[in-house]
């Protein structure tokens, strides 16, 4: 269970007992996408009659919602009693012990071949996952992949006659639509709670630590610990969201719950299944939400909603597509852009190489630009696998006492699992690659092609030569 202070009396609680992690090494690039049942019509389509029960509508969805039990082995170091240490010194090493950490969440079967949508934080770090179906069948599940930036994970079970849920088009939901949260809260067993869509496109800072993409469906349907990864379904029994978090000062439901829209969840799922990773589109701009007084300055009505472009990265997709500083983006593929988060999530949700239609206003005149998206680099500071660098700042130069004559890229972190962990370390200053000075990361990346390279580095008061083989 995670909480974060949002105000003096409020905290954001992840509605499960397990923390965040990304998985994806088990995914295979040759997997075929799952067959999904999709009904894109609005929930209000057709005539409405007096409803006295939703039992028949909810029953199929209930069968497709599962409980996800996680088990993680935690190793803890036990320090020797200080009283004994003074007699034995370091002759007796600290001892380690193992304990099991268990968690509970929910999931939703979305395809007959056993793919299950759940939350990233439900499966994070798990050494074993068990899935319990509504009919009491139990399966061992494996993680196909997970995406911390959307809190979505995909797991898979092997079984026959698996129930599945039908997916709705979450773009069509409206505030006021009746919805139901289905999951296993507080380990009491499968539970259905009812409410309405309270808001759309909510961004509340839950995923800020991972620079995530938030566009939550807010609902007052009761969501508690254990509901994470469960289904938010509409009045037709279709999946509209994956329950993810609650806002609460008491760690319990107070009627403010959040679900990841199923359109976003499905996009992430397809990418994880087919490639093992999540590839996001890249536009290459800096922007800000259009304010009312700015709209008038741009020759637009005061109530215009949009995003103002404040900078365009040279040679980026935006630059090649003709987007300019001062342009106001009004929509992406006919989806209105009301705020910066809308533009960010629409672009990230679109595959690299895709063409998007941007409706813009330039000098008060409408235009349409067709732009082919690039690929977002999720690790902009990664020079080599597991090795992150940055430009040498004056502060770092003073801290490390680096003479003025030396300049280059400073290693800021090295993953212990990196294949280069035995050659590079934090605070190593890379001066040259193959006798060429390096001062920016793009040039260094281009120089470090697969093969053998010679690096000149400065570390702890002296310059030295390092041989490095790039895999």
Which residues are identified as catalytic? 121, 151, 228
Tell whether 23 is in a known binding site.
no
The closest of 317, 311, 298 to 360, measured between CA atoms, is: 298
Are the C-beta atoms of 337 and 344 separated by less than 8 Å?
no
Tell whether 30 is in a known binding site.
no
CB under 8 Å to 420, separation ≥6 — which residues? 384, 385, 386, 387, 414, 468
Please, where are the H alpha helices in 243-402? 262-275, 292-297, 317-321, 340-348, 394-400
Tell whether 147 is in a known binding site.
no
Question: From CA 356, how far away is CA 330, in angstroms rounded?
Answer: 13
Question: From CA 173, how far away is CA 160, in angstroms rounded?
Answer: 32
Are the C-beta atoms of 452 and 434 separated by less than 8 Å?
no
Tell whether 8 is in a known binding site.
no
Question: From CA 55, how far away is CA 49, in angstroms rounded?
Answer: 15
Tell whether 227 is in a known binding site.
yes
The closest of 173, 130, 144, 159 to 41, measured between CA atoms, is: 173
Q: What percentage of the chain's residues is helix, strand, coil (to nearest 5)?
A: 15, 40, 45
CA terminus-to-terminus distance, the chain:
39
Binding-site positions for substrate = 121, 151, 226-228
Known binding-site positions: 121, 151, 226-228
């Amino acid at each position: 269970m995670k909480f974060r202070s949002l105000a003096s009396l409020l905290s954001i609680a992840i509605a499960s007992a397990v923390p965040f992690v990304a998985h994806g090494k088990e995914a295979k690039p040759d997997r075929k996408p799952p067959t999904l049942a999709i009904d894109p019509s609005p929930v209000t389509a057709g005539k409405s009659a007096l409803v006295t029960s939703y039992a028949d509508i909810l029953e199929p969805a209930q069968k497709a919602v599962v409980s996800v039990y996680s088990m993680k082995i935690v190793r803890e170091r036990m320090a020797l009693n200080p009283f004994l240490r003074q007699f034995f010194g370091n002759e007796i090493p600290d001892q380690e012990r193992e304990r099991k950490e268990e968690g509970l969440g929910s999931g939703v079967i979305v395809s007959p071949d056993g793919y299950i949508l759940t939350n990233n934080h439900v499966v994070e770090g798990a050494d074993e996952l068990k899935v319990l179906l509504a009919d009491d069948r139990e399966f061992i599940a494996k993680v196909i992949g997970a995406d911390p930036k959307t809190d979505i994970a995909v797991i898979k079970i092997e079984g026959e006659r698996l129930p599945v849920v039908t997916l709705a088009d979450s773009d069509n939901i409206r505030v006021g639509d009746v919805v139901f949260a289905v999951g296993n809260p507080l380990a009491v067993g499968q539970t259905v709670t009812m409410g309405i869509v309270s808001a759309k496109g909510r961004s509340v800072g839950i995923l800020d630590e991972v620079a995530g993409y938030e566009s939550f469906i807010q609902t007052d349907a009761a969501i508690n610990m254990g509901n994470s990864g469960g289904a938010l379904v509409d009045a037709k029994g279709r999946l509209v969201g994956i329950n993810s978090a609650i806002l609460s000062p008491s760690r319990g439901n107070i009627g403010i719950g959040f679900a990841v829209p199923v359109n976003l969840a499905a996009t992430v799922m397809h990418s994880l299944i087919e490639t093992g990773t999540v590839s996001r589109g890249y536009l290459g701009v800096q922007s800000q939400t259009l304010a009312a007084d700015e709209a008038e300055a741009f020759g637009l009505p005061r109530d215009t909603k949009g995003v103002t472009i404040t900078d365009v990265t040279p040679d980026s997709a935006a630059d090649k597509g003709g987007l300019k500083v001062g342009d106001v983006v009004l929509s992406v593929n006919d989806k209105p852009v009301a705020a910066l988060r809308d533009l960010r999530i629409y672009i990230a949700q679109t595959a690299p190489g895709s063409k998007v239609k941007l409706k813009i206003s330039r000098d008060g005149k409408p235009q349409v630009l067709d732009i082919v998206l690039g690929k977002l680099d999720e690790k902009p500071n990664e020079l080599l696998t597991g090795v992150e660098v940055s430009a040498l700042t004056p502060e770092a130069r003073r801290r490390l006492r680096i003479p003025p004559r030396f300049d280059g890229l400073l290693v800021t972190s090295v993953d212990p699992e990196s294949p280069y962990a035995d050659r590079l370390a934090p605070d190593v200053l890379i001066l040259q690659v193959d006798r060429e000075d390096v001062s920016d990361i793009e040039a260094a990346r281009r120089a470090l092609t697969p093969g053998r390279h010679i690096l000149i580095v400065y570390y702890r008061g002296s310059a030295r030569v390092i041989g490095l083989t790039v895999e």
